[in-house]
Every structure is written in C-alpha cells, then in structure tokens.
Amino acid sequence: MSLRISRSPWGMARVAYSYLGAILAGLMTMMTLVVVWPITAALPVCKNDPGGYCSHILTMYVGLGAIVGFLFLTAHLLRLGWQWALWMIGLTLVVAQLIIDLSAPSWGWFLVVIPLLGALATYGLSDAPAPRPLAIGRLVGLGVIFTQFIVWLAILLTGKN
C-alpha cells in the first residue's frame, strides 16, 4: 500500500490539496521544532548566551531546512509537483519578510493566500517531468540557509542587534 495518491489533483481539488500540503508541512515543521528547541538551548555553545539568541538562531536554521524538506515531501506524496514546492517556498519567504516589515496585527490573511497562490501558479504543471527535483530542493534549501547565515553573520560582526 502506498501513501502517495494515484493521480495529480486537478481543478478545485488542486487548491484543496495545496491547503492540505501546506498544513501538513507546517505541522511536521512545528513537531520538528518542538524536539529541536530544547536541544539547541542545551548546547554548550549556547550556554553562555545571556539573551538566548544562539538557540533562536539555530532553531531558525533547522526550521527553514525542515519547512523546505517537508514542502517537497508533501508535494511528492500529494502529487502537487516540485514546482508547487518551489512556489510555496518563495511565497513563504516573501510573505514572512512582509510580515516582519509590516508588523501588522492582521497578518493571518497572508497564510490563507499562500496555498491558493501556490495552487494557481502551478495549475497546469502537475504532470510536468521533474528535472531532478531533489537536487533543486536541496539547492533551494541550502540557498535559503546560506542567505540567513550571511545576514546573521553580518549582524554579529557589526554588533547591531
């Protein structure tokens, strides 16, 4: 018995599967962070950090890697396609930055729009052949983590918190 569905979702089912994939990836990422948070707080490297930033930063890196991996996993299991996972990662990064910059109390509607835009952007691409989706996913994940590391290093070297 396979956990993977038999054919790619089409029409409004694609939107529903997009929401299901986003929810499953989010839940799996949160479960990963629940396990990782106490481990990063107990690391010897983070013991001398009075503000607790070390643990937060390490957990953020694990969370970014987890959401990238779980989006590709749910895209595979639900047959949404690797393009859907790439769109979801890009939209999540853009929307996360908007949430941080705007710091608006009504940011919840962004979370409703992301899976809808991901489904609509890949509407006709569900059966497209995948040019090494795992390699692309790894490159995107490493690029995201590397970018966050460079930003963290720049903040650390300039001394601005």
Q: What is the mean pLDDT of the chain?
A: 75
* 3-state secondary structure labels for all residues of the chain: CCCCCCCCCCCHHHHHHHHHHHHHHHHHHHHHHHHHHHHHHCCHHHCCCCCCHHHHHHHHHHHHHHHHHHHHHHHHHCCCCHHHHHHHHHHHHHHHHHHHHHCCCCCHHHHHHHHHHHHHHCCCCCCCCCCCHHHHHHHHHHHHHHHHHHHHHHHHHHCCC
Query: With bands split at pLDDT 50, 70 and 90, how would you rate the model's confidence at 101?
Result: low
Domain ranges for the chain, please list them: 12-41+49-158
* Residue 9, pLDDT above cutoff 80: no
* Residue 118, pLDDT above cutoff 70: yes
**Is the pTM for the entire model greater than 0.85?**
no
